[in-house]
Chain A
Amino acid sequence: MNIDKKITDDLVANGISFVTTVPCKQLAGVIEEIDAREEIFHIPSNKEDEGMGLCAGAFMGGKRPAIIMQNTAIGVTINTLATLIQYYRMPLPMIISYRGELREPVACQVEMAVHTKALLAEMKIPTYHFHHRSDVEELDAILKYTFMCNKPVAVLTDANFWGGYGDQ
Protein backbone atom coordinates (compact mmCIF):
# COMPACT_ATOMS: atom_id res chain seq x y z
CA MET A 1 0.00 0.00 0.00
CA ASN A 2 1.25 3.45 -0.92
CA ILE A 3 0.42 5.38 2.23
CA ASP A 4 0.74 8.82 0.64
CA LYS A 5 -1.73 7.83 -2.04
CA LYS A 6 -4.08 6.20 0.48
CA ILE A 7 -4.21 9.37 2.62
CA THR A 8 -4.78 11.57 -0.43
CA ASP A 9 -7.46 9.19 -1.78
CA ASP A 10 -9.30 9.39 1.54
CA LEU A 11 -9.16 13.21 1.48
CA VAL A 12 -10.56 13.30 -2.06
CA ALA A 13 -13.20 10.66 -1.29
CA ASN A 14 -14.42 12.85 1.58
CA GLY A 15 -14.79 15.90 -0.65
CA ILE A 16 -11.75 17.71 0.71
CA SER A 17 -10.66 20.09 -2.03
CA PHE A 18 -8.62 22.75 -0.23
CA VAL A 19 -5.46 21.70 1.60
CA THR A 20 -2.82 23.90 3.18
CA THR A 21 0.53 22.50 4.22
CA VAL A 22 3.60 23.41 6.22
CA PRO A 23 6.26 20.89 5.31
CA CYS A 24 7.86 18.08 7.30
CA LYS A 25 10.30 15.44 6.09
CA GLN A 26 7.82 12.70 7.03
CA LEU A 27 5.01 14.40 5.16
CA ALA A 28 6.96 15.13 1.98
CA GLY A 29 5.40 12.25 0.04
CA VAL A 30 1.81 13.04 0.95
CA ILE A 31 2.35 16.75 0.23
CA GLU A 32 3.74 15.83 -3.19
CA GLU A 33 0.73 13.59 -3.84
CA ILE A 34 -1.72 16.32 -2.79
CA ASP A 35 0.03 18.86 -4.97
CA ALA A 36 -0.31 16.55 -7.98
CA ARG A 37 -4.05 15.91 -7.54
CA GLU A 38 -6.42 17.91 -9.72
CA GLU A 39 -9.27 17.54 -7.23
CA ILE A 40 -7.32 19.42 -4.53
CA PHE A 41 -6.26 23.06 -4.46
CA HIS A 42 -2.94 22.98 -2.58
CA ILE A 43 -1.85 26.20 -0.93
CA PRO A 44 1.36 26.08 1.10
CA SER A 45 1.30 28.45 4.08
CA ASN A 46 4.19 30.12 5.87
CA LYS A 47 2.89 29.43 9.35
CA GLU A 48 0.22 27.11 10.63
CA ASP A 49 -2.06 29.78 12.11
CA GLU A 50 -2.08 31.49 8.73
CA GLY A 51 -3.00 28.11 7.21
CA MET A 52 -5.93 27.73 9.61
CA GLY A 53 -7.14 31.19 8.55
CA LEU A 54 -7.04 30.06 4.91
CA CYS A 55 -8.96 26.90 5.84
CA ALA A 56 -11.59 28.91 7.75
CA GLY A 57 -12.15 31.11 4.71
CA ALA A 58 -12.32 28.17 2.33
CA PHE A 59 -14.84 26.43 4.58
CA MET A 60 -17.07 29.51 4.59
CA GLY A 61 -16.72 29.60 0.82
CA GLY A 62 -18.19 26.11 0.57
CA LYS A 63 -15.05 23.96 0.39
CA ARG A 64 -13.98 21.20 2.74
CA PRO A 65 -10.49 22.10 3.99
CA ALA A 66 -7.65 20.26 5.70
CA ILE A 67 -4.29 21.22 7.13
CA ILE A 68 -1.09 19.20 7.11
CA MET A 69 1.57 20.23 9.62
CA GLN A 70 4.03 19.14 12.31
CA ASN A 71 3.06 18.72 15.94
CA THR A 72 5.24 21.70 16.84
CA ALA A 73 2.43 23.70 15.22
CA ILE A 74 0.13 22.87 18.14
CA GLY A 75 2.27 25.34 20.07
CA VAL A 76 1.74 27.93 17.35
CA THR A 77 -1.99 27.51 16.82
CA ILE A 78 -3.62 27.21 20.28
CA ASN A 79 -5.13 30.70 20.03
CA THR A 80 -6.34 30.19 16.46
CA LEU A 81 -7.89 26.83 17.35
CA ALA A 82 -9.70 28.34 20.35
CA THR A 83 -10.82 31.72 18.97
CA LEU A 84 -11.43 30.89 15.31
CA ILE A 85 -11.91 27.20 14.54
CA GLN A 86 -13.63 26.20 17.78
CA TYR A 87 -15.32 29.54 18.59
CA TYR A 88 -17.03 29.75 15.18
CA ARG A 89 -17.48 25.96 15.16
CA MET A 90 -15.69 24.93 11.99
CA PRO A 91 -14.50 21.48 10.92
CA LEU A 92 -10.76 21.08 10.38
CA PRO A 93 -8.96 17.79 9.87
CA MET A 94 -5.35 18.19 10.98
CA ILE A 95 -2.99 15.56 9.60
CA ILE A 96 -0.02 15.97 11.89
CA SER A 97 3.50 14.63 11.70
CA TYR A 98 4.13 13.51 15.29
CA ARG A 99 7.81 14.29 15.62
CA GLY A 100 9.75 13.44 18.77
CA GLU A 101 8.30 9.94 19.21
CA LEU A 102 10.04 6.51 18.97
CA ARG A 103 12.77 6.41 16.28
CA GLU A 104 13.15 10.21 16.33
CA PRO A 105 16.75 11.28 15.64
CA VAL A 106 16.43 14.95 16.63
CA ALA A 107 16.38 15.48 20.42
CA CYS A 108 14.71 18.87 20.34
CA GLN A 109 11.64 17.38 18.66
CA VAL A 110 10.94 15.45 21.87
CA GLU A 111 10.44 18.73 23.75
CA MET A 112 7.17 19.45 21.93
CA ALA A 113 6.24 15.78 21.57
CA VAL A 114 5.85 15.46 25.34
CA HIS A 115 3.34 18.33 25.35
CA THR A 116 1.42 17.45 22.20
CA LYS A 117 -1.25 15.09 23.54
CA ALA A 118 -1.68 17.09 26.74
CA LEU A 119 -2.30 20.29 24.78
CA LEU A 120 -4.74 18.57 22.44
CA ALA A 121 -6.54 17.03 25.43
CA GLU A 122 -6.69 20.41 27.18
CA MET A 123 -8.24 21.88 24.01
CA LYS A 124 -10.79 19.02 23.95
CA ILE A 125 -9.69 18.20 20.41
CA PRO A 126 -10.53 14.62 19.35
CA THR A 127 -7.15 12.99 18.76
CA TYR A 128 -6.12 9.83 16.94
CA HIS A 129 -2.60 8.40 16.95
CA PHE A 130 -1.39 6.42 13.93
CA HIS A 131 1.49 4.22 15.10
CA HIS A 132 1.19 1.17 12.85
CA ARG A 133 0.78 1.33 9.12
CA SER A 134 -2.64 -0.36 9.32
CA ASP A 135 -3.92 2.50 11.50
CA VAL A 136 -4.43 4.49 8.31
CA GLU A 137 -7.53 2.38 7.70
CA GLU A 138 -9.33 4.60 10.22
CA LEU A 139 -8.65 7.85 8.34
CA ASP A 140 -11.80 7.69 6.24
CA ALA A 141 -13.97 7.35 9.35
CA ILE A 142 -12.04 10.13 11.12
CA LEU A 143 -12.65 12.52 8.23
CA LYS A 144 -16.37 11.69 8.21
CA TYR A 145 -16.45 12.25 11.98
CA THR A 146 -14.73 15.65 11.60
CA PHE A 147 -17.32 17.00 9.17
CA MET A 148 -20.14 15.43 11.16
CA CYS A 149 -19.24 17.27 14.37
CA ASN A 150 -17.73 20.51 12.94
CA LYS A 151 -14.65 20.37 15.14
CA PRO A 152 -10.92 20.41 14.63
CA VAL A 153 -9.69 16.82 14.82
CA ALA A 154 -6.05 15.76 15.16
CA VAL A 155 -4.45 12.75 13.48
CA LEU A 156 -0.96 12.25 14.93
CA THR A 157 1.22 10.20 12.61
CA ASP A 158 4.49 9.09 14.17
CA ALA A 159 7.81 7.87 12.74
CA ASN A 160 6.87 4.23 13.21
CA PHE A 161 3.78 4.78 11.11
CA TRP A 162 5.85 6.36 8.35
CA GLY A 163 8.50 3.63 8.54
CA GLY A 164 11.18 5.41 10.51
CA TYR A 165 14.04 7.53 9.28
CA GLY A 166 15.94 5.01 7.20
CA ASP A 167 18.98 3.42 8.87
CA GLN A 168 18.85 5.15 12.25
Chain B
Amino acid sequence: MIRSEILKEIAPIIRDQLVVCNIGLPSQELHMIDDQPTNFYMLGTMGLASSIGLGLALAQDKTVISIDGDGSVLTNLGTLPTIANNVANNYILLIIDNGSYGSTGDQPTYAGKKTSLTAVAKACGCENVIEVQDKDLAPVLQGAIDSKKMTVIVCKCDSGNIKLPVITMDPVVIRDRFMKAVSAK
Protein backbone atom coordinates (compact mmCIF):
# COMPACT_ATOMS: atom_id res chain seq x y z
CA MET B 1 0.00 0.00 0.00
CA ILE B 2 1.08 3.59 -0.57
CA ARG B 3 0.41 6.45 1.87
CA SER B 4 -2.79 7.67 0.22
CA GLU B 5 -4.28 4.16 0.37
CA ILE B 6 -3.38 3.98 4.07
CA LEU B 7 -4.98 7.36 4.76
CA LYS B 8 -8.17 6.22 2.98
CA GLU B 9 -8.27 3.11 5.13
CA ILE B 10 -7.74 4.89 8.46
CA ALA B 11 -9.91 7.95 7.67
CA PRO B 12 -12.96 6.54 9.52
CA ILE B 13 -10.76 5.80 12.57
CA ILE B 14 -9.13 9.23 12.81
CA ARG B 15 -12.18 11.29 11.77
CA ASP B 16 -13.23 12.03 15.34
CA GLN B 17 -9.72 12.56 16.71
CA LEU B 18 -7.50 15.65 16.62
CA VAL B 19 -5.01 15.11 13.79
CA VAL B 20 -1.84 17.08 13.08
CA CYS B 21 -0.81 16.19 9.55
CA ASN B 22 2.63 16.47 8.03
CA ILE B 23 3.59 19.01 5.36
CA GLY B 24 3.16 18.38 1.65
CA LEU B 25 1.44 15.40 0.08
CA PRO B 26 0.22 13.81 3.35
CA SER B 27 -1.79 16.92 4.23
CA GLN B 28 -3.02 17.30 0.65
CA GLU B 29 -4.11 13.66 0.58
CA LEU B 30 -5.90 13.82 3.95
CA HIS B 31 -7.56 17.08 2.91
CA MET B 32 -8.87 15.44 -0.28
CA ILE B 33 -9.86 12.13 1.33
CA ASP B 34 -11.66 13.43 4.41
CA ASP B 35 -11.36 17.13 5.26
CA GLN B 36 -12.38 17.70 8.88
CA PRO B 37 -12.19 20.68 11.23
CA THR B 38 -10.28 18.37 13.55
CA ASN B 39 -7.44 18.22 11.02
CA PHE B 40 -4.53 20.64 11.31
CA TYR B 41 -2.75 20.78 7.97
CA MET B 42 0.87 21.82 7.94
CA LEU B 43 1.58 23.95 4.90
CA GLY B 44 5.26 24.41 5.72
CA THR B 45 7.88 23.72 8.39
CA MET B 46 9.04 20.20 7.62
CA GLY B 47 9.64 18.04 10.66
CA LEU B 48 7.45 19.65 13.28
CA ALA B 49 4.20 17.62 13.08
CA SER B 50 5.30 15.42 15.98
CA SER B 51 6.27 18.43 18.11
CA ILE B 52 3.03 20.33 17.41
CA GLY B 53 1.05 17.18 18.22
CA LEU B 54 2.91 16.61 21.47
CA GLY B 55 2.43 20.24 22.56
CA LEU B 56 -1.28 19.96 21.77
CA ALA B 57 -1.63 16.66 23.64
CA LEU B 58 0.12 18.07 26.71
CA ALA B 59 -2.10 21.16 26.68
CA GLN B 60 -5.51 19.47 26.68
CA ASP B 61 -7.18 16.07 27.20
CA LYS B 62 -8.48 14.97 23.79
CA THR B 63 -6.61 12.31 21.83
CA VAL B 64 -4.10 13.73 19.34
CA ILE B 65 -2.66 11.82 16.40
CA SER B 66 0.34 13.25 14.58
CA ILE B 67 0.65 11.78 11.11
CA ASP B 68 4.31 12.08 10.25
CA GLY B 69 6.71 10.62 7.71
CA ASP B 70 10.05 8.87 8.07
CA GLY B 71 11.84 11.73 6.31
CA SER B 72 10.23 14.34 8.53
CA VAL B 73 11.06 12.45 11.71
CA LEU B 74 14.66 12.20 10.54
CA THR B 75 14.62 15.99 10.04
CA ASN B 76 13.58 16.50 13.67
CA LEU B 77 15.06 13.43 15.33
CA GLY B 78 15.34 15.31 18.63
CA THR B 79 11.56 15.01 18.91
CA LEU B 80 11.73 11.36 19.99
CA PRO B 81 13.58 11.92 23.30
CA THR B 82 11.24 14.84 24.06
CA ILE B 83 8.21 12.62 23.42
CA ALA B 84 9.68 9.79 25.50
CA ASN B 85 10.44 12.00 28.48
CA ASN B 86 7.16 13.95 28.48
CA VAL B 87 4.55 11.22 28.41
CA ALA B 88 1.13 12.31 27.19
CA ASN B 89 -1.20 9.32 27.23
CA ASN B 90 -3.54 11.06 24.80
CA TYR B 91 -0.82 11.20 22.15
CA ILE B 92 -0.14 8.90 19.21
CA LEU B 93 2.69 9.46 16.77
CA LEU B 94 1.94 7.63 13.53
CA ILE B 95 5.00 7.50 11.29
CA ILE B 96 4.11 6.49 7.74
CA ASP B 97 7.47 4.96 6.85
CA ASN B 98 7.72 4.52 3.10
CA GLY B 99 11.50 4.90 3.07
CA SER B 100 11.37 7.96 0.86
CA TYR B 101 10.88 11.71 0.69
CA GLY B 102 7.53 11.44 -1.10
CA SER B 103 6.71 15.10 -1.57
CA THR B 104 9.99 15.89 -3.28
CA GLY B 105 10.18 13.02 -5.74
CA ASP B 106 10.65 9.83 -3.74
CA GLN B 107 14.34 10.24 -2.97
CA PRO B 108 15.34 7.47 -0.55
CA THR B 109 15.63 8.21 3.19
CA TYR B 110 18.02 6.48 5.57
CA ALA B 111 14.94 4.93 7.25
CA GLY B 112 14.53 2.92 4.07
CA LYS B 113 18.15 1.78 4.34
CA LYS B 114 19.99 0.82 7.53
CA THR B 115 18.19 3.04 10.07
CA SER B 116 15.21 1.64 11.98
CA LEU B 117 12.98 4.38 13.39
CA THR B 118 11.33 1.73 15.56
CA ALA B 119 14.68 0.97 17.20
CA VAL B 120 15.50 4.68 17.44
CA ALA B 121 12.19 5.43 19.17
CA LYS B 122 12.76 2.60 21.63
CA ALA B 123 16.33 3.71 22.28
CA CYS B 124 15.05 7.23 22.96
CA GLY B 125 12.90 5.84 25.74
CA CYS B 126 9.48 5.61 24.07
CA GLU B 127 7.63 2.84 25.89
CA ASN B 128 4.94 1.72 23.45
CA VAL B 129 6.50 1.43 20.01
CA ILE B 130 4.76 -0.73 17.44
CA GLU B 131 6.09 -1.49 13.97
CA VAL B 132 3.35 -2.63 11.67
CA GLN B 133 2.90 -3.45 8.00
CA ASP B 134 0.52 -1.17 6.09
CA LYS B 135 -2.31 -3.69 5.68
CA ASP B 136 -2.36 -4.34 9.44
CA LEU B 137 -2.37 -0.68 10.56
CA ALA B 138 -6.09 -0.03 11.10
CA PRO B 139 -6.64 -2.35 14.10
CA VAL B 140 -3.29 -1.34 15.62
CA LEU B 141 -4.20 2.34 15.39
CA GLN B 142 -7.65 1.74 16.84
CA GLY B 143 -6.04 -0.27 19.63
CA ALA B 144 -3.62 2.56 20.38
CA ILE B 145 -6.50 5.06 20.60
CA ASP B 146 -8.43 2.74 22.91
CA SER B 147 -5.40 1.98 25.08
CA LYS B 148 -5.04 5.59 26.31
CA LYS B 149 -1.29 5.03 26.37
CA MET B 150 1.16 7.19 24.47
CA THR B 151 2.09 5.12 21.42
CA VAL B 152 4.51 5.45 18.54
CA ILE B 153 3.44 3.46 15.48
CA VAL B 154 5.88 2.94 12.63
CA CYS B 155 3.87 1.83 9.60
CA LYS B 156 6.03 0.29 6.90
CA CYS B 157 4.61 0.79 3.42
CA ASP B 158 5.45 1.34 -0.24
CA SER B 159 6.57 4.68 -1.61
CA GLY B 160 4.41 6.32 -4.23
CA ASN B 161 2.20 9.32 -4.74
CA ILE B 162 -1.05 10.28 -6.38
CA LYS B 163 -1.69 13.50 -8.27
CA LEU B 164 -3.73 15.97 -6.28
CA PRO B 165 -4.15 19.71 -5.78
CA VAL B 166 -2.41 21.85 -3.17
CA ILE B 167 -4.41 23.11 -0.18
CA THR B 168 -5.57 26.66 -0.87
CA MET B 169 -7.27 27.21 2.51
CA ASP B 170 -5.77 30.17 4.35
CA PRO B 171 -3.47 29.08 7.20
CA VAL B 172 -5.24 31.31 9.74
CA VAL B 173 -8.56 29.74 8.70
CA ILE B 174 -7.09 26.24 9.15
CA ARG B 175 -5.79 27.20 12.57
CA ASP B 176 -8.96 28.96 13.70
CA ARG B 177 -11.20 26.12 12.53
CA PHE B 178 -8.92 23.62 14.27
CA MET B 179 -8.83 25.55 17.55
CA LYS B 180 -12.64 25.72 17.60
CA ALA B 181 -12.72 21.94 17.12
CA VAL B 182 -10.15 21.48 19.89
CA SER B 183 -12.15 23.54 22.37
CA ALA B 184 -15.57 22.16 21.36
CA LYS B 185 -17.27 20.06 24.03
Are A53's CB and B182's CB within 8 A? no
Are B51's CB and A88's CB within 8 A? no
What's the nearest-Cβ distance from chain A to residue B61, in Å? Answer: 9
What's the nearest-Cβ distance from chain A to residue B47, in Å? Answer: 7
* Chain A residues whose CB sits within 8 angstroms of the CB of B50 once the complex forms: 53
Contact with B along A70-93 (1 / 0, CB 8 A): 000000000110111001111000
Are B45's CB and A84's CB within 8 A? yes
Partner among B42, B60, B82, B182 whose Cβ is within 8 Å of the Cβ of A45: B82
* Chain A residues whose CB sits within 8 angstroms of the CB of B59 once the complex forms: 18, 57-63
Q: Does B155 contact A (CB under 8 A)?
A: no
Partner among B52, B81, B182 whose Cβ is within 8 Å of the Cβ of A62: B182
Kindly specify which of B98-106, B115-123, B138-146, B170-178 makes contact with the partner chain: B170-178
Residues of B within 8 A of A (CB): 20, 40, 42-45, 47-60, 64, 76, 78-79, 81-82, 86, 171-172, 174-175, 178-179, 182-183
Residue of B nearest to A54 (CB): B55
Q: Does A145 contact B (CB under 8 A)?
A: no
| Interface contacts beyond A53-B47, A57-B51, A87-B43: sample of 6 additional A-B pairs, CB < 8 Å, sorted by A | A44-B82, A54-B52, A57-B52, A61-B182, A62-B179, A89-B172
Are B60's CB and A61's CB within 8 A? yes
* Chain A residues whose CB sits within 8 angstroms of the CB of B43 once the complex forms: 83, 87
* Central interface residue in B50, B51, B55, by most chain A CB within 10 Å: B55
Are B86's CB and A60's CB within 8 A? no
Which 8 residue pairs spanning A and B have beta carbons closest together?
Answer: A57-B55, A61-B59, A53-B51, A83-B44, A46-B78, A53-B48, A57-B56, A54-B55
| Interface members, chain A 19-60 (any B CB < 8 Å) | 41, 43-47, 49-60
Q: Does A100 contact B (CB under 8 A)?
A: no
Q: Does A152 contact B (CB under 8 A)?
A: no
* Chain A residues whose CB sits within 8 angstroms of the CB of B47 once the complex forms: 49, 53
Are A60's CB and B175's CB within 8 A? yes
* Chain A residues whose CB sits within 8 angstroms of the CB of B56 once the complex forms: 57-58, 60-61
* Chain A residues whose CB sits within 8 angstroms of the CB of B53 once the complex forms: 57
* Chain A residues whose CB sits within 8 angstroms of the CB of B86 once the complex forms: 43
Are A56's CB and B182's CB within 8 A? no
A and B contact pairs by CB, cutoff 8 A, 18 listed: A18-B58, A43-B82, A45-B78, A47-B78, A50-B79, A53-B48, A54-B55, A55-B55, A56-B48, A56-B51, A57-B56, A60-B59, A60-B175, A60-B182, A61-B182, A62-B60, A83-B45, A87-B43
